[in-house]
Amino acid sequence: MTKLGNDNKEGFEETLLGQLPSQWRVLFLDEIAEVTMGQSPDSKYYNVVGEGLPLIQGNADCKNGTTQPRFWTTQITKTCDPGDLILSVRAPVGSVAKSSHHACIGRGVCAIKPAQSSNYLFHILISQENKWGKISQGSTFDAVTSSQVKKLRIAVPPIKEQEKITAIISVWDHAIERVQRLIEAKQRQKDQLVSRLLSGQKRFPGFQDEWKQMKLGTFLHPKFRKVVKPVGAYLRLGIRSHGKGTFTSVVDDPETIALTHLFQARKDDLIVNITFAWEGAIALVGPDGDGALVSHRFPTYVFDTSKMLPEYFKHLMVTDRFFYELDLISPGGAGRNRVMNKGDFLKITVAVPDIEEQKKIAGVLGGMDEQIALLKKYLEKLKEQKKGLMQKLLTGEIRVKVD
């Protein structure tokens, strides 16, 4: 290890990667692993029936740290083996997964076969994920070259220290995995309950009245709060597809918006993106969107709460059946050519219980949403703690005892 200065902590040396323990080495990735850049087969050889080999093309084929290929191919180009590390080399650059397959790899990834501890190198590459953007380049999309991958500098401790570091990080990984599984189980439980409660298959004791068939126009009323487009920066409201809620962004330069008037959204409005209603772009406006502005393509509606509670409808509007209705009233071709008919929207018919039963159902489902939200918050906290610990372990800031 080359010394670059004398102002070092005891037992540390200055390196191209900063101060590291003197027993550690700085090596290029291709000195400790075999790197194979992917080569995409011709798409005419793709299939989904299991012929040939699974095809790992990019980040979309890697979920939660493991490979989950969407396609197979009978034209075999470059391959990886189970246990190899898969690194995405095209946008997004730097995502890492462990291969679960003997698979064909496309040009969006490379396969890395470590000479020793694949687990340690896996964690090292994860810690480097956000740094690839600084060296990636491309006219159409970001990418890194074979040379850039192979010459990535890695801090390498002795093998026993690698194993100890990996064992410590694995404790956090197991905790994160347990919480992820719990969230998935809670979500499945909620989804099953939604299906039964909103169809009337399951009813709570004390509720026996027959549900009424109502058109949305019975309890939803269009509300247009037209305003002149601001001359300065303003808050814009958007809607995620698939019932994933709203988001806000700041428009710094209103001159980039080719409209003279906009419309104001308020908390608890129902809002729809008529261009992507067929894709489930519907939501209730939350506190963060109160007062935000939208275009004419985002009609807003207010509830007659004597007939329908917003907190009940928010569960109803994200069911498969409701999405199907939105799809039916959005004629046209693909994407932006499919525009929802606002008149037909208010003609959609739903089965509605009385207000008290709505309150009961909304309370139960809302409680489950709160549980899931708390678990997700805890999961993010665990991930942040793991990230901080990894930073210290993988730089030697925290040393581990080796027997």
Is residue 202 a part of any domain in this protein? no
pLDDT at 15 over 70: yes
- In terms of domains, do 253 and 337 share one? yes
Q: Which helix (H) or strand (E) holds 367?
A: helix 355-393
CA dihedral sign of residues 286, 380, 387, 121: negative
> Is residue 80 classed as helix, strand or coil in its secondary structure?
strand
Is residue 114 a part of any domain in this protein? yes
- In terms of domains, do 127 and 230 share one? no
The total number of structural domains in the chain stands at: 2
- CB-based burial label for 357 (10 Å; 0-12, 13-18, 19+): buried
Q: 350 in the Ramachandran plot: left (φ > 0), alpha (ψ -120 to 50) or beta?
A: beta
Q: Report the DSSP pairing between strands 261-264 and 293-294.
A: antiparallel
Is residue 251 a part of any domain in this protein? yes
- In terms of domains, do 23 and 132 share one? yes
User: What six digits make up the tokens of 63?
Assistant: 């979920």
pLDDT at 5 over 50: no
b/e per residue 97-121 (b: at least 16 CB within 10 A): bbbbbebbbbbbbbbbbbeebbbbb
Is residue 44 a part of any domain in this protein? yes
Predicted pLDDT of residue 266: 97
User: What six digits make up the tokens of 157?
Assistant: 């401790």
Read off the pLDDT band of 139 (50, 70, 90). Answer: very low
- In terms of domains, do 110 and 237 share one? no
pLDDT at 351 over 80: yes
Is residue 348 a part of any domain in this protein? yes
Q: Residue 61: count other Cβ atoms within 10 Å of its Cβ.
A: 23
Q: What CATH number did the domain enclosing 308 receive?
A: 3.90.220.20
Q: How far, in Å, CA of 128 to CA of 130, rounded?
A: 6
- In terms of domains, do 150 and 235 share one? no
- In terms of domains, do 139 and 237 share one? no
Average pLDDT over residues 326-334: 86
Average pLDDT over residues 333-357: 89
Predicted pLDDT of residue 1: 45
Predicted pLDDT of residue 132: 80
Average pLDDT over residues 283-300: 96
Read off the pLDDT band of 49 (50, 70, 90). Answer: confident
- In terms of domains, do 133 and 34 share one? yes
Q: How far, in Å, CA of 317 to CA of 306, rounded?
A: 18
Q: How far, in Å, CA of 72 to CA of 86, rounded?
A: 17
Is residue 57 a part of any domain in this protein? yes
Read off the pLDDT band of 143 (50, 70, 90). Answer: confident
Is residue 179 a part of any domain in this protein? no
Residue-wise pLDDT tens digits, 307-320: 999 999 999 999 99
Average pLDDT, the chain: 92
Q: How far, in Å, CA of 181 to CA of 249, rounded?
A: 32
- In terms of domains, do 276 and 141 share one? no
Read off the pLDDT band of 278 (50, 70, 90). Answer: very high
CA dist list (Å): 153 to 27, 121, 131: 6, 12, 12
**Among 132, 156, 180, where does a domain finish?**
156
- In terms of domains, do 151 and 17 share one? yes
Read off the pLDDT band of 117 (50, 70, 90). Answer: confident
**Among 129, 156, 183, where does a domain finish?**
156
Residue-wise pLDDT tens digits, 181-220: 999 999 999 999 999 999 999 999 999 999 999 999 999 9
Predicted pLDDT of residue 136: 60
Instruction: Give the predicted TM-score (pTM) of the model.
Output: 0.80
Predicted pLDDT of residue 138: 54
User: Whole domain around residue 50: which residue ranges?
Assistant: 12-156
Read off the pLDDT band of 128 (50, 70, 90). Answer: confident
- In terms of domains, do 216 and 338 share one? yes
Q: 154 in the Ramachandran plot: left (φ > 0), alpha (ψ -120 to 50) or beta?
A: beta
Is residue 399 a part of any domain in this protein? no
Predicted pLDDT of residue 2: 41
CA 61 to chain centre: 14
Express as a percent the part of the chain with pLDDT over 70.
95
Predicted pLDDT of residue 334: 60
- In terms of domains, do 130 and 252 share one? no
CA dist list (Å): 366 to 196, 243, 339: 15, 15, 31
